């Protein structure tokens, strides 16, 4: 019987050597060391042996079981190692491969233009003033010479929040707030950039939200020619050194006189093209001398002080300068659009 068992031992050793995965090893362990294995059966059979045979036989079986157990352990460790090796190889990262590029964003075109204008005016001694987007009717309209029920309120369709508060329709209320707060500053020169909101139907040139920059100067000897010189500089900074400007009479409740300002067309240089609709001129902003009523309400003596103001739509400048075909492009944050202006 012992020879038979030695043969099984040899067979088991061979199989363990060949085993290539952990499942196979598990099966082998059950087969050779489990309750139904030949060695366990042999232990049972020992009862029938003589007293003299039994100890030697028992020792041998135990030794065989111990040997197999060690072999199985070793095989298991080896297979586990091999599995890890294989994983390391198949999941290896080639650190010499070029990486995926991190694509840089771009400053939004509207922000770029706001910064260009800010730089120009800060260089001329203006300070930048900001104010709330949810504004009091008082500052957005009343103190700008637009009392309740004034028909000119229709020029700026508004989003009201309550009777007395609304989303500001222009950045002019910032000027009112600044005038009220800075009476001692002479000359008083500010620009007010920011978002404004109007209840307009959306289309290629209208959006319910857009950006504006307004400027205000109050001093003792301010005239329309100061305004014109300032606007000429602005036009040339934004649209090129060759630009000319012209003023046409217009109406705003907060300025008197009021003007609409055109620049000579930057595409055809005034010859007439599709952009300027053949006229050679493009309307760019509204401006004027601060209405005496506005000065008085802000606490200035209009006999002594004058001021000029203008307001420019930033998206409109961007559309004209960069031939953007739809104002809504500025608000959808399509990076393919934004990156073009890096």
Q: Cβ 280 to ligand PHE, closest distance in Å?
A: 23
Give the nearer residue to ligand PHE in terms of CB position, either 158 or 338. Answer: 158
Q: Is 214 in the site for ligand PHE (CB under 6 A)?
A: yes
Q: Is 305 in the site for ligand PHE (CB under 6 A)?
A: no
Cα-based distances in Å from 8 to 15, 32, 150 = 10, 9, 109
Tell me the three state secondary structure of residue 258: strand
Q: Is 310 in the site for ligand PHE (CB under 6 A)?
A: yes
Residues 6+ apart with CB under 8 A from 7: none
Q: Cβ 172 to ligand PHE, closest distance in Å?
A: 4
Q: Choose, by CB under 6 A, the member of 309, 317, 318, 319 that binds ligand PHE.
A: 309
Give the nearer residue to ligand PHE in terms of CB position, either 141 or 239. Answer: 141
Q: Cβ 98 to ligand PHE, closest distance in Å?
A: 51
**What is the helix (H) or strand (E) element at residue 286, kind and residue range?**
strand 281-290
Q: Choose, by CB under 6 A, the member of 131, 193, 286, 307 that binds ligand PHE.
A: 286
Residue whose tokens read 């028992």: 58
Q: Cβ 99 to ligand PHE, closest distance in Å?
A: 48
Distance CA 266, CA 235 (A): 10
Q: What does residue 185 show for φ and ψ, rounded to 5 degrees?
A: -85, 120
Residue of minimal Cβ distance to ligand PHE: 311
Please choose, out of 68-76, 112-120, 271-279, 304-312, the segment that lies near ligand PHE by the rule CB under 6 A. Answer: 304-312
- CA proximity to 328, closest of 235, 239, 200: 200
Other CB atoms within 10 A of residue 230 CB = 20
Chain positions 179 to 198 lying near ligand PHE, rule: CB under 6 A, are none
**What is the helix (H) or strand (E) element at residue 114, kind and residue range?**
helix 109-123
Number of residues this chain uses to bind ligand PHE (CB under 6 A): 11
Q: What does residue 70 show for φ and ψ, rounded to 5 degrees?
A: -60, -45
Q: Cβ 241 to ligand PHE, closest distance in Å?
A: 25
Give the nearer residue to ligand PHE in terms of CB position, either 24 or 256. Answer: 256
Chain positions 225 to 284 lying near ligand PHE, rule: CB under 6 A, are 252, 255
Q: Cβ 175 to ligand PHE, closest distance in Å?
A: 8
Length of the chain: 342
Q: Cβ 163 to ligand PHE, closest distance in Å?
A: 22
Q: Cβ 123 to ligand PHE, closest distance in Å?
A: 21
Q: Choose, by CB under 6 A, the member of 139, 311, 324, 330 that binds ligand PHE.
A: 311
Chain positions 118 to 177 lying near ligand PHE, rule: CB under 6 A, are 170, 172
Buried-state track 172-209, b at ≥16 Cβ within 10 A, e below 16: bbbbbbbbeeeeeeeebbbbbbbebbbeeeeeeeebeb
Cβ atoms of 243 and 264 closer than 8 Å: yes
Residues making contact with ligand PHE (CB under 6 A) = 170, 172, 214, 252, 255, 286-288, 309-311
């Amino acid at each position: 019987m012992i020879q038979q068992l030695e043969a099984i031992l040899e067979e088991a050793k061979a199989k363990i050597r060949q085993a290539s995965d952990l499942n196979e090893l598990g099966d082998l362990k059950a087969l050779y060391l489990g309750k139904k294995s030949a060695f366990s059966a042999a232990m049972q059979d020992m009862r029938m042996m003589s007293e003299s045979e039994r100890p030697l036989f028992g020792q041998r079986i135990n030794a065989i079981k111990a040997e197999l157990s060690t072999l199985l352990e070793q095989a298991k460790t080896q297979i586990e190692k091999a599995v890890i090796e294989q994983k390391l190889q198949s999941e290896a990262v080639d650190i010499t491969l070029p990486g995926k590029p991190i694509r840089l964003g771009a400053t939004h075109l509207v922000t770029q233009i706001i910064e260009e204008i800010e730089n120009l005016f800060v260089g001329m001694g203006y300070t930048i003033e900001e104010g709330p987007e949810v504004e009091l009717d008082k500052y957005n309209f009343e103190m700008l010479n637009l009392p309740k029920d004034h028909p000119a309120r229709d020029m700026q369709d508004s989003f009201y929040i309550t009777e007395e508060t609304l989303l500001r329709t222009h950045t002019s209320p910032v000027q009112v707030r600044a005038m009220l707060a800075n009476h001692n500053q002479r000359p008083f020169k500010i620009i007010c950039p920011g978002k404004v909101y109007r209840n307009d139907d959306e289309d290629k040139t209208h959006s319910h939200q857009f950006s504006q920059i307004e400027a205000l100067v109050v001093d003792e000897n301010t005239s329309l020619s100061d305004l014109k010189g300032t606007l000429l500089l602005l036009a040339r900074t934004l649209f090129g050194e060759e630009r000319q400007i012209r003023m046409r009479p217009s109406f705003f409740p907060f300025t008197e006189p009021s003007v609409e300002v055109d620049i000579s067309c930057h595409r055809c240089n005034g010859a007439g093209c599709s952009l300027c609709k053949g006229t050679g001129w493009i309307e760019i902003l509204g401006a004027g001398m601060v209405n005496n009523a506005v000065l008085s309400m802000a606490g200035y003596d209009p006999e002594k002080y004058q001021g000029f103001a203008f307001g420019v739509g930033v998206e409109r400048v961007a559309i004209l300068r960069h031939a953007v075909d739809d104002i809504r492009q500025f608000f959808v944050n399509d990076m393919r659009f934004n990156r073009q202006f890096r």
